[in-house]
Each structure stands twice: as C-alpha cells, then as structure tokens.
Amino acid sequence: MEQGREKRYDVLDGLRGVAAISVMLTHFSQNTPHSLFKHADLAVDLFFMLSGFVLMHSYRNKLLLGLSAREYIRKRIIRLYPMFAISMAIGIPALLAVAAAGLSNYPLRSIIAATLNNLLFMPYLGDHGTANMVSAAAQLPVEKYTVGEIFPANPSAWSLFFEMVASVALLVLIRLQRRDLIKVIVGSAILLFATGVLLGVENKGAIPVFFGAGWGTRNFFAGFIRVAYGFTMGVLIYSLHENRTPLKFGKAISVVLRNDIVLYLLFAVATAFPFGIKGLFPMAVIFFVAPLMVYRGADIEPSGQFSAKLAHFLGWMSYPVYCLHFPIGRLVFLYFPDSEQHPTQAIALAVALTVAVSIIATKLIEEPVRAYLTRKFASRKRVNLKTEPVV
C-alpha cells in the first residue's frame, strides 16, 4: 500500500480484502434462499474511504512536489485498467452466453455499444436487463432481471469508474484546508442522505433510505455524491492520522478495535447483518462505523507474522477478486447443473475458480503488463508492483 520505504498499512490491506470477499459472496448468493452478507454494498463505501486514504499517502507529497497531473493519471490508469481489461475479456463472452440462453433482453447492438463504452472506462446508460447468477435452465421472468447496469459485462466495475473520478478530484483535494474538507464532507453527507430518501421513495418504500446508488442508470448520478463523501472522508482521515489528531472517543475505539482480527470480524459482521432497520443500519455504518474503522485500522499493526502474511495476501487478492468474480460467477451459475437446487456447490465452485483465476491472471498477465506499461509510459524507475496503491 505504499512505495519505497514509506509506512505500510497492512491492516487496511487486509480490511480491503475482507470487503472484497463479502462483495463476492453476496453476489454469488443473491438468488439463493439465504443471501450472504446482505449489506456487502457497504464495502464500496469502505473502498472509497480507503482509496482517499491510500492515494493521499502515496501521491500527496509527490503531487505537491512536482509530479504532473498527466503522470499521476497515467499511473492510476495503469494500476486499474489491466485487471479491468481481463475481467472484460471474461465478462463479454459471459454476457453473450447469458443473452443466448434467453436470460437477458440486451439486443446485440446494445451489447456492442455498452462494450465500447465500458472498454473506454465509461458507463453505459441503458435500460436493458439481465438475470444474474442463474442457470441456463432457469425460467426467470423479465421483471426479475437486474435492469440498467452501467457496466453490463461486469456489473461490479461500476465503482471503478467512480474511482477514476475520485483520482482526478484528488488533484484539487490535496490543496484544501481541513475546514474546507469538512465542508465538502458535510455537504456530500447531506446530499447522500437526501438522495437516499428520494431513491427510497422511488423504490416504493421498500427501503426508506437507500444508499446503494451508482451502479445503474436510474441511480447513476447519485454515485457521484456517494464517492464524493467516501473519498473525501478518506482524505480527511489521512490528514487526521498524519497529524496524530486525537479523536474524542479514541481510547474507547482502541479498546473495542484492539487488533486486526477484531477489525476484520467487525466489518464481516456489519456486512452480514440481516436487518436494514429502515435504512438506519447502513447509514450508521457509512457515516460513523466505516470511518472509525479506517482511522483505527491505520494505527493497528498485524498481531503476528501469520496475520501480516494474511493481510498482505488479502490486500493483494482484493482487486482481482473484486474485478473477476462477477463474470466468473455468471458462467459458473449458467452452466453448473441444477445450480438452483444445489446453490452451495455452485457458490463453492465459483469462489474456487475466482481465487484461482485471480492468482493466475495477476501473476502471469496483470503484473507483467503493468510492469511493461510503467516502464514504457509512467516512469523510468523500477517499480515494486506489490506496493502500488490498489484503490
């Protein structure tokens, strides 16, 4: 999570890995009788906060000391795009297979248009739908399709678009005073709550306050508010951490979150919590729990050698797992015999394939490609890819 001899935030790496796993499991279990990690969409808000923290740590001083905006954006594209491209190489055939099985109402021309948009890292604002994580034999009615995914071939990639938007915003945020950062956070928090209420009304009150915006055409623009709050909060948390600013309840937080394992378990429990409490639970996590976890996680060291290795592995795996799990899961559930009758086996296979493909793709394709692109376009210096910021 750092470069050179800068401080490593191993526990934040591990936390990001736990969050990515929760997202994977909730997607794989979304059409089963017992959905896992009901609130895993909160992981995206955590990702945005971690992104603000990590990019401040990795690039703030470099940008202030002369790293050009062009060079910085180039580095961010090189970091994010290769694995995204691998995911699209799997996701495009998977979407075509789902459409051929009659589980999508995307016409071919729309798939082509969406693909061209997405390959340019841009959203596709359409109104077609797809049945996700179901078998080819399923007879799912159209009204149960997921409609308007802005990255149809890899729906999870929607947050990567907003990551790039936030990366550009960092060029401005690094020059703001703390009081101005707080103003941005408060303003975006108010807007996030207001849009959550409006989206709840649109959902006919099923979820009175809906915070899971950004992934689809109908809630796309709310994604800018969501990332504005999360990313700027991460920037502020880094500022507080760097200046060793004590929090009012800092001692109590350190007692509750006493080590890395407790931190991981708490976030896993938060995402697995089965009740939304009329939107109050996700609101509490977004506005209070997640920021405190990032703040505390930055101060915690791994509790042992094994914990350090686990944190490093979870962090290293987090981005490929997040990128690759959805298209791989689509294919597994599409072709797994009786995936509706045997969802546990299908989930286990999808998880195993995701992990295996993530390791192979990272080692054999993504890291060599990034090394080449970095040498060619981003820097003449040798770069340790394992320490490049992942979010």
Residue 3 has pLDDT above 50, yes or no: no
Provide the angle, in degrees to the nearest 10, between the axes of the packed helices 305-335 and 343-361: 120
160: nearest Cα among 150, 148, 170:
150
320: nearest Cα among 82, 151, 114, 93:
82
Residue 3 within any structural domain of the chain: no
φ/ψ region of 37 (left if φ > 0, alpha if ψ in -120 to 50, else beta) reads: left
Residue 318 has pLDDT above 80, yes or no: yes
**Averaged pLDDT, 372-381:** 77
Residue 5 within any structural domain of the chain: no
Residue 340 within any structural domain of the chain: yes
**Averaged pLDDT, 58-69:** 94
Residue 350 within any structural domain of the chain: yes
Residue 298 has pLDDT above 90, yes or no: yes
92: nearest Cα among 121, 115, 113:
115
Residue 383 within any structural domain of the chain: yes
CA dihedral 313, 7, 243, 251 (to 10 degrees): 50
Residue 351 within any structural domain of the chain: yes
The pLDDT of residue 143: 82
Residue 331 within any structural domain of the chain: yes
**Averaged pLDDT, 136-141:** 82
14: nearest Cα among 266, 358, 264:
264
Print the domain residue range for 83: 10-387
The pLDDT of residue 7: 78
The pLDDT of residue 218: 92
**Averaged pLDDT, 214-236:** 96
CA dihedral 313, 319, 320, 321 (to 10 degrees): 80
Choose between 202 and 113: higher pLDDT: 113
Domain count, the chain: 1
Residue 29 within any structural domain of the chain: yes
Cβ–Cβ < 8 Å for 329, 323: no
Tally DSSP H helices, then E strands, for the chain. Answer: 14, 2
The pLDDT of residue 204: 58
